[in-house]
A and B are shown apart, each in its own frame.
Chain A
Amino acid sequence: MLTINNIEVIYNDVILVLRGVSIKVGEGQIVALLGANGAGKTTTLKAISGLLHAEEGKVTRGSIDFENEQIDKLTPDQIVARGIVQVLEGRRLFRHLSVEENLLTGALTRKDRNAIINRDLEQIYHYFPILKTLRKRTSGYLSGGEQQMLVIGRGLMSRPRLMMLDEPSIGLAPMLVQEIFEIIRKINQETGLPILLVEQNARIALDVAHYAYVMETGRVVLDGTPAQLAQNEDIKEFYLGMTQVGERKSYRDVKHYKRRKRWLG
């Protein structure tokens, strides 16, 4: 349903950030996009959602197709209208709006009647019951986990046909990460919603994903099913092994592994 064909992205007309990225997301799939800091994961998502334009970024080569339509020339609002929603990195909220208002902003572009939107709201509260008890609360004061649930819920309120999550696990306690990923899995299974998931926490991402890509300095260097990737020595060492040591340390290792070896590329 989503096909990224060998795209190149340039910021400010000079900085080449993506150098030929190809990714596919199929019907009903959770696809994980892994990679170290600065690999270009967020840039890839913004290329899809059209948010690059506002940052002086451009797709200069290749194409992005969604349900047989080329979308890389569309504006972000047109892309949301096509059914693709990007949940931004870092749990970005409209902090002065209440929890429920935040959820409703997700549905602002829909033409549906209020009754239908309220039903979807109930559906979100069904997945994230805590949000219902906090619905009148100013969202800026929620805890990190609650904020993450809220931004995912807001994404769902647009009734997407493809949802893109940018590092939902970042900065959350392991228990919470588990809980949120279980809900992501459940949403995918119950509604068939395809999800493109950017993560640094490879263990949990590979656990829910049907397929995964690994990016490094603007390129896809490896892809496969989670089972295949889990067999890969580099993945074992730098993505899976690291979670026991703690994420901080592992990022420092990334430099040395880059020097040591480049996957495929």
Chain B
Amino acid sequence: MNWVLVPQQIATGILNGGIIALISLGVVLIFKSSEIFNFAHGHLLMLGAYVTWWFAGGNQDGTEVFNLPLIPAFLIAVLVAIVVGLLIERFALRPMTGQPLLSIVLMTLGLALFIEGVVSLVFGVQPSAVFPSPFSPSAVFRVPFPGAMGGFIILKKTLVLSFGAAMLASIAFALFFNFTKTGLAMRATSEDHELARSVGLNVPRIFGLSWAIAGVIATVGGILLAMLTGASLNLSTVVLVAFPAILLGGLDSFLGAIVGGITVGLVQALVQASSNIEVRNSAEIAPYVVLLIVLVIRPEGLFGQKRIERI
């Protein structure tokens, strides 16, 4: 272990973990409400980033149709995400009601390809490094920290912003689900669809709402990520990092998604502090190793709901 790197890597890991947590939340939301593992979440995220990018003026090379500031462009992207979420539920998933779960999950894979196709047709396949951001990507905070390399921990402002946004979104989620009527309706629906119908809930509408919310938080995640990396079709692959986080947290737990996200961020960053090159190169698979260990000990994940067996 290269100890002088550790404080810096812990800080970076936690900040990165915030975005992973945010992405995981969206997948968990859909899984909770309908038991569908949404493989298109990364693509919704990429779509959200591109829509924002396009309304904010794209490459700024004179071809732009709109040239809005970041916030209005973001708000438009949120509206687009809501509409896309509702459309997906209505036209891709509702017709599949009653089909085996596997076909529905495959449908989300199909959706992923569809979104990728549409984005490349509309916005092109060339990645763009230009993305509107309140800070330059190289702007940093320097926090004095004895024992760290050079006596400072360096925090990218964009990362701090995205971590803050992720935490805010998580808190908003928790409040919404635990203290609003709609939140209760969604929790109830996620447990038993027929029972939810019997108490008068409009289950298709609740699914639509879940997809709309998932679309919105995917968009938020996409924008935060694109601020760091620019807009590209590859943004969707970030879900590969979110998968272990989601499973680690237990698939159906929001708290689990957050803890899982931060754990994955930390593990990836700490591995990089190793003095062994082999270990450093394993950053991508390290979260999966941790996942494997956790699942052996707790098959339902860290915070997954234990099946209540009674009757």
Mark A residues whose CB is within 8 Å of B. Answer: 49, 51, 54, 56, 75-77, 79-81, 85-88, 90-97, 101, 104-106, 108-109, 138, 140-141, 144, 154, 158
Any A CB within 8 A of the CB of B275: no
Distance between Cα atoms of A85 and B197 in the complex (Å): 10
Bound Cα distance A77, B308 (Å): 28
| B195 and A94 form a contact (CB under 8 A) | yes
Contact of A77 among B192, B194, B195, B197 (CB under 8 A): B197
Q: Is the CB of A88 within 8 A of B305?
A: no
A51 to B200, CA, bound (A): 10
Contact A76 B200 (CB under 8 A): yes
Sample (20) of A-B pairs whose CB atoms are under 8 Å apart:
A54-B194, A76-B197, A77-B197, A77-B200, A77-B202, A80-B199, A80-B200, A88-B195, A94-B192, A97-B184, A97-B188, A101-B184, A101-B187, A104-B184, A108-B200, A109-B199, A109-B200, A138-B308, A141-B308, A141-B310
A96 touching B308, Cβ below 8 Å: yes
Question: When the two chains form their complex, are residues A54 and B197 in contact, meaning their CB atoms are under 8 A apart?
Answer: yes
Q: A51 to B194, Cβ gap below 8 A?
A: yes
Extra pairs beyond A90-B311, A93-B195, A108-B184 (6, CB < 8 Å): A51-B198, A77-B201, A88-B195, A97-B191, A105-B188, A109-B201
Contact check, A95 vs B202: say whether CB atoms are below 8 A apart.
Answer: no
Contact A94 B191 (CB under 8 A): yes
Main secondary structure of the interface of A (DSSP, over half): mixed
Q: Which of B21-54 contact A (CB under 8 A)?
A: none
Q: Which residue of chain A lies nearest to B308 when distances are taken between CB atoms in the complex?
A: A140
Most buried by B among A56, A87, A109: A109
Per DSSP, chain B at the interface is helix
> Is B185 in the interface zone, CB < 8 Å from A?
yes
Partner of A51, one of B184, B188, B197, B308: B197
In the bound complex, how far is the Cα of B183 from the Cα of A101, in angstroms?
A: 11
Is B150 in contact with chain A by the CB < 8 A criterion? no
Q: How many A-B residue pairs have CB under 8 A?
A: 82
Taking CB atoms, residues of chain B closer than 8 Å to A154 are 199
CA distance A197 to B198 in the complex (A): 16
Encode B170-199 as 1/0 by CB contact (under 8 A) with A.
Answer: 000000000001001101100111111111
* List of A residues within 8 angstroms of B202 by Cβ: 75, 77
The CB with the most chain B CB atoms within 10 A, among A49, A77, A85, A91, is that of A77
Is there an interface contact between A85 and B200, defined as CB atoms closer than 8 Å?
Answer: yes
Q: Which residues from B are CB-within-8-Å of A85?
A: 198-200
Inter-chain CA distance A79–B197, complex, in Å, is 10
Shortest A55–chain B CB gap in Å is 8
Contacts of B184 in A (CB 8 A): 97, 101, 104-105, 108
Q: Does B62 contact A (CB under 8 A)?
A: no
- Complex contacts, A97 vs chain B, CB 8 Å: 184, 187-188, 191
B200 touches A95 (CB 8 A): no
A167 → chain B closest CB, angstroms: 14
Distance A36 CA – B21 CA, assembled complex (angstroms): 53
Q: What's the nearest-Cβ distance from chain A to residue B179, in Å?
A: 11
| B98 interfacial by beta-carbon distance below 8 Å | yes
Shortest Cβ distance from residue A249 to the other chain B in the assembled complex, whole angstroms: 23
Among B190-236, those with CB < 8 Å from A are 191-202
Residues of A within 8 Å of B194, CB to CB, are: 51, 54, 88, 92
Residues of A within 8 A of B181 (CB): 108
When chains A and B are docked, how far (Å) is the Cα of A86 from the Cα of B197? 10
For A90, what are the chain B residues with a Cβ–Cβ distance below 8 Å?
311
CA distance A86 to B192 in the complex (A): 15
Please determine whether A95 and B191 come into contact, CB atoms closer than 8 angstroms: yes
From residue 138 to 190 of chain B, which have CB atoms closer than 8 A to chain A? 181, 184-185, 187-188
Chain B residues near A92 (CB-CB < 8 A): 192, 194-195, 198
Residues of A within 8 A of B188 (CB): 94, 97, 101, 105, 108
